[in-house]
Amino acid sequence: MPALTPWEELVTTALLGTDRRALSTPGKEAPLTLLDQAAAQTVRRRAGLRPAPAAAPPQPAADDPRPPLPPAARQRLATLLTDQPGSGGSGRRGAAPDLMELLPQWLSLANARGYGAPPELLPALLNAARGRTDLRPQALTFAGPRALWLARLNPDWKFALRSTPGGGMALPDPTDTAQVQQLWEEGLFAERVALLTTLREHDAQAARALLSTTWQTERAEDRLMFLDTLRTGLCEADEPFLEEALTDRSRNVRATAAELLSALPASALAARMAARAASCVAVDHVASTPTLTVEAPHECDAAMERDGVVAKPPTGRGERSWWLGQLVDSAPLNSWQGRLGNRTPTEIVALPVADDWRGELHAAWCRAAVRQRDAAWSRALLGTPASPDAAGPGAVSLAERAKLLASLPPRERADWVAGFIAAHGLSEAFQLLGVCAVPWAEPLGRAVVDALNIARDAGSYPWSFSGVMGLAERCLDPAEAVRLEALTAVPDESENASPGAGGYWSEAFQRLVTTLRLRAAITTELTP
């Protein structure tokens, strides 16, 4: 056993006590001698502190070539990140803006302008993205390579490595064929998906060619993931490859291939589906007014299954209507005009449908219009915004309407929703507002503000409209702030109003105006 150092001797003696263990140098009073010696040793030990040997320093983070933020924008970001959720006490929102809600917009603007993140704000940024998955893609793009470097050092930020294709590793330049080929052959699955995704964005043909080289030898679940990358830049040149995949061993791969082919109206599969669907729907000219008659398929044959039709319906649905739906939503919409007496989509949609098939048929057309991004059919199926069944649970649900709206040009979309709000108020409009371009076009913004104003005059509390209010804060054009100023005054309490509602409305409009001002400032600050 090695001899104890004088200091270790002292610590042992102190633990046991001087009554049990005598000091080697007896002095005045044993405990005081011990304390004297310990004091000298302690000061000596501290004064003699030496630095430790250096550990191997980390690999430096990759350079971020993006320009730094302008100072005002940097400050704004720091302020937005200070506003962590849950740090305030009260439930009521008051007149001050919700800064955290502006972060997504701030990030998308900063990314659009190509700025790099200030390093000292990366921890706060990563923590914000950790708590809010919806924020992650934008936040990680903005955070750049140094955030991934940080994430490798702190387990709390592991999500950043997962959310970034290839775990933030450097992918070869898409034009470097040799490097691309090597990573495709030797890379891990995640790296290969990342490579294929990047390549597909850069050169769709090359990506498909690369996939073809190893397609036969890939595992079924890998084939499915790889096939999914074809959604980006899908075009007619992909058809032979997809047609081949229709005979794949895996049912999921076959279904995905069929779905992709049906989104190509000129494909052979689309033509086959068109023929099948056409045989089910006809115009009955014998009736007093022309009427659509529907004869759903009687069987799902092997050829249909090969083209992706799922034979077994989900519980609660009839087989024949299930098959009909699949045929109609995979058939190219432009095939119907010739089939149904050269009518326009609007005229076709207006035709009465015999035997309660209307809902089934229109729902399938809606799915087709969404998949094929067909504006004319979307417009026809949406109908006029003011029509009474536009708000009700008619043939086309609000969720489907929202999807159909997405196929229309932004301005038309905004006008339709503005019309809808004018006719039906705000309570059903939330979903539809979500698909409108930001900032809202002027007529849409006015429709929303007018509707809020009407709701206020009706005497209800603003929090019944907090969803729309929140959207308005994020989506209204900042230029509207001037017009809204008048609404921030506390109105006289009317008889049928809920107690105190006027004050709360004034507060809500104040918050709206302040938020719009803030958004205008954010845009200015991020403009070089």
Partner 1 sequence: MTQQGVRWTADQVLALAPDAPSRKAGSKLGVAGPWSEAGSSGEGTVWGLCKGSGSKPYQTVVDITCAGEAAGPAYKCSCPSRKFPCKHALGLLLVWAGQDGTVPEGEPPAWAEEWLATRRKRTAEKRSSPPSSTPADPEAAHRRAEKRAERITAGVTELEQRLSDLLRGGTAAAEQTGYGLWEETAARMVDAQAPGLAARVRELGAIPSSGHGWPVRLLEECALLHLLDQGWLHREELPDELAATVRSRVGLPAQPQGPPLRDHWLVLAQYDTADSKLTTRRIWMYGTESGRTALLLSYGAAGRAPSLALPVGLALDAALSWYPGGIRLRADLGEQFTAPAPTPLRPPGVRVSEATAHYGEALRKDPWLESHPVTLADVTPTQSTDGWQLTDPEEDLALPLSPSAASRPGLWRLVALSGGAPLTVFGECGHRGFTPLAAWPKDAEGTIPLC
Site string for partner 1, 401-440 (x = CB under 8 A): ----------------------------------------
At its nearest, how many Å lie between partner 1 and the CB of residue 113? 18
Among 55, 170, 286, 302, binds partner 1 (CB under 8 A): 55
Side chain identity at 300, as an amino acid letter?
A: C
Closest CA to 311 of 303, 262, 267: 303
Size of the site for partner 1 (CB under 8 A): 75
3-state SS class at 284? strand
Among 51, 314, 388, 528, binds partner 1 (CB under 8 A): 51
Site string for partner 1, 444-483 (x = CB under 8 A): ----------------------------------------
Site string for partner 1, 189-228 (x = CB under 8 A): ----------------------------------------
At its nearest, how many Å lie between partner 1 and the CB of residue 79? 5
Residues 423, 385: Cα–Cα separation, whole Å: 7
User: Per CB under 8 A, which of residues 17..46 are in contact with partner 1?
Assistant: 17-20, 29-32, 34-36, 38-39, 41-43, 45-46
Closest CA to 199 of 214, 183, 221: 183
Residues 6+ apart with CB under 8 A from 408: 375, 378, 379, 382, 416
Task: Spell 123-157 as b/e; 16+ CB within 10 A means b.
Answer: eebbebbbeeeebbbbbbebbbbbbbbbbbeeeeb
Looking at the Cβ atoms of 51 and 528, the one nearer to partner 1 is 51
3-state SS class at 281? strand
- Is residue 153 part of the contact set for partner 1 (CB under 8 A)? yes
At its nearest, how many Å lie between partner 1 and the CB of residue 453? 20
At its nearest, how many Å lie between partner 1 and the CB of residue 197? 27
Residues 131, 87: Cα–Cα separation, whole Å: 14
Evaluate whether 297 touches 280 at the Cβ level (below 8 Å): yes
3-state SS class at 392? coil
Site string for partner 1, 108-137 (x = CB under 8 A): -----------xx-xx--------------
Closest CA to 65 of 108, 110, 17, 115: 115
User: Per CB under 8 A, which of residues 476..515 are in contact with partner 1?
Assistant: 490, 503, 507, 510, 513-514
Looking at the Cβ atoms of 61 and 406, the one nearer to partner 1 is 61
- Is residue 527 part of the contact set for partner 1 (CB under 8 A)? no
At its nearest, how many Å lie between partner 1 and the CB of residue 57? 5
Residues 310, 329: Cα–Cα separation, whole Å: 13
Among 4, 22, 78, 399, binds partner 1 (CB under 8 A): 78
Segment (H or E) for 103: helix 103-113
At its nearest, how many Å lie between partner 1 and the CB of residue 17? 3
Residues 179, 95: Cα–Cα separation, whole Å: 56
Looking at the Cβ atoms of 44 and 231, the one nearer to partner 1 is 44
At its nearest, how many Å lie between partner 1 and the CB of residue 13? 8
Burial class (CB in 10 A: 0-12, 13-18, 19+), 50: exposed
